[in-house]
Chains A and B, each alone.
Chain A
């Protein structure tokens, strides 16, 4: 029973990290229909900032968390301004390839600055387990799940209730019409990037908490999986991203538990293929009809 519970918690923890990252993918895709390949690498930036602040400067973990989130937000907005904004009206393929270029740039830049070998991020707290009755639960896992729940609720409120959220929904529905209604499209898109990247920053801290590592290419697999999660759930949908993230997390947990961990990447991708074939727009995705 104990093992079962801790496995479920592991799956929840992994799934929550994927969900947070997937939310970033989904928001950016929802608004400018761009697969932001660089999103995974923003997490890498966040993890390195955590490492810099704690291991190199020896500062308080809370400062590390704050700085990581701020750094990720800035990097996300900067990427949008420098690389994507000039291509707003370009063909979709060009923007996608630019995103791949940005991802390449961040990965290799990190490799140049920090070296190829992984850096160990120190523990954020001394507490490693918390007792719930007589069951000991892993503290990072509980924090990860709680933070994800809070972040998802906050994001949903932001998108559904606030004025900025309304602007975001309007831009994603029809950019031209939104502009005519007096919405500043560019700043709305920048804001979306900022929110998505801030979530990636939180994801980075949680990832560093769970796996205590930062390496230049860490964002690639994490990003790809989170992206799979976003597509699985239906890209553009916030609940879809969370559900997708949890599905991917649990799938990995189950495969690993069965002792087949070498196959876990294949299982995740196979899951994606099956979902896409059965429901091409993902679980929560809206079917869009094409106008001729």
Chain B
């Protein structure tokens, strides 16, 4: 279901068919494209909510679904830095933890301040919803600030060094979360004991509403001038700089946006599991998210979302084989890299509007094949004529 949800919000990086003949082609107006996608998102959300209310999806299943949503946001946000910007940050879990702690502490403190109880958050009173949304934005902003602090020195470095410095920063964040209380003198993160009593504010609607919004925002960003600048940096940084792209600015921008959404995902994660420990956000978590992006195909939002979905549901479905799970992960990762280094979907992205336009223009792949076959036959005829 969430795959459907994703399908409508992936970036069409290749503009496709804006050639000289574009004028003759029927095109779908932008407003109609947005409307179709928005309606589909709403339909999916409503169907999902009805199924949960009606009991077709159990409590356990909906919790797994919420986690799927969180991982989709994480993978899609890491994809900005990895797939679109072409860097390899190994500290995504660090941003996630900053967002998670930021959001959880904000929501708890505001809840106390405004007298909103734990139950109000689960049932979702208007005030509590407002607090949660503010908390998610706050968590995202905290992560974005961390992103600026990390990004400015890190992005001066290239390739492997960037990977290492982000890894180092994420480890520092983890150690700070673990020990900050003893420095501050009051309780903030509760260190290794873990932050407990976080209201369970994450619901299917909230999580997938965020998924849709995040995918939409990233999609529009990547289609804009800024997105193209980021892609230009990935393809050739020196050429991009020579063409007048402010590489430092755009690299930092992509990095910070990626951190922001990771922070939002962290906030949702906190509301989903209810307890936060710094140990959740170790190096392995960063790798887990990276694996999702790489397997799906770097630069493909659909790929990231699909592999996040599969890799979150699969371990739940294969509880009995949990011991072998990580080994299978590792082997799959190595095999994919050896046999399909660009990821399962490469940089392909699905576009509903593109398909609708094809139908409108009666432009089907099999038709094209027949056409080119006919052309080839004709071409052969010509060359045969010439020979004669």
Q: Which residues of A contact B (CB under 8 A)?
A: 29, 33, 35, 83, 86-87, 90-98, 100-102, 104-105, 107-109, 111-112, 220, 224, 227-228, 231, 262-263, 265-266, 269-270, 272-273, 276-277, 280, 290, 292
Contacts and interface: CB of A to CB of B under 8 A. Distances in A.
Interface in B151-204: 153, 156-157, 159-161, 163-165, 167-169, 171-172, 175-176, 178-179
Nearest to A92: B159
A112 B171 CA distance: 26
Nearest to A264: B175
Contacts of A87: 337-338, 341
Contact of A104 (B160, B168, B323, B326): B326
B114 interface: no
Contact of A112 (B160, B283, B327): B327
Interface of B: 88, 153, 156-157, 159-161, 163-165, 167-169, 171-172, 175-176, 178-179, 238, 283, 287, 290-291, 294, 298, 323-324, 326-327, 329-331, 333-334, 337-338, 341
27 contacts: A35-B160, A35-B163, A87-B337, A87-B341, A90-B337, A90-B341, A91-B341, A92-B159, A93-B88, A94-B337, A95-B337, A96-B163, A97-B337, A98-B333, A101-B331, A104-B326, A105-B331, A112-B324, A224-B171, A228-B164, A265-B172, A266-B171, A272-B165, A273-B172, A276-B161, A276-B165, A277-B156
A95 to B, nearest CB: 8
Nearest to B242: A292
Given A92-B159, A262-B178, A272-B165, A98 B334 contact: yes
Contact of B164 (A98, A102, A105, A231): A231
Contacts of B157: 276, 280
A102 B156 CA distance: 29
Contacts of A100: 287, 290, 333
A30 to B, nearest CB: 13
B330 A104 contact: yes
B338 A262 contact: no
Contacts of B159: 92
A273 B333 contact: no
A108 B175 CA distance: 24
Given A87-B337, A92-B159, A262-B178, A269 B88 contact: no
Contacts of A35: 160, 163-164
A19 B163 CA distance: 21
A245 B236 CA distance: 36
A182 B297 CA distance: 38
Nearest to B328: A108
A48 B168 CA distance: 28
Nearest to B341: A94
A155 B337 CA distance: 33
Contacts of B164: 35, 227-228, 231, 272, 276
B153 A273 contact: yes
Given A102-B330, A109-B327, A97 B290 contact: yes
Given A86-B338, A262-B175, A262-B179, A273 B323 contact: no
B327 to A, nearest CB: 5
A197 B198 CA distance: 46
Contacts of B298: 93
A105 B330 contact: yes
Given A33-B160, A266-B172, 10 more contacts: A92-B160, A93-B88, A101-B331, A104-B329, A108-B327, A108-B329, A108-B330, A265-B171, A273-B168, A292-B238
A97 B337 CA distance: 7
Nearest to A102: B334
Nearest to A217: B284
A205 B326 CA distance: 27
Given A108-B326, A108-B327, A276-B157, A97 B175 contact: no
A78 to B, nearest CB: 13
Contacts of A90: 337, 341
Give the residue among A96, A97, A276 with the most B Cβ atoms within 10 A: A97
A97 B333 contact: yes
Q: Which of A29, A35, A220, A290 has the most chain B CB atoms inside 10 A of its CB? A: A35
B334 A266 contact: no
A263 B183 CA distance: 11
Given A97-B294, A112-B323, A273-B153, A224 B334 contact: no
Q: Which of B168, B179, B329 has the largest number of chain A CB atoms within 10 A?
A: B168
A95 B338 CA distance: 9
Contacts of B168: 228, 269-270, 272-273
A88 to B, nearest CB: 11
A227 B283 CA distance: 14
A265 B337 contact: no
A98 B331 CA distance: 9
A275 to B, nearest CB: 10
A205 to B, nearest CB: 26
B179 A263 contact: yes
Contacts of B294: 97
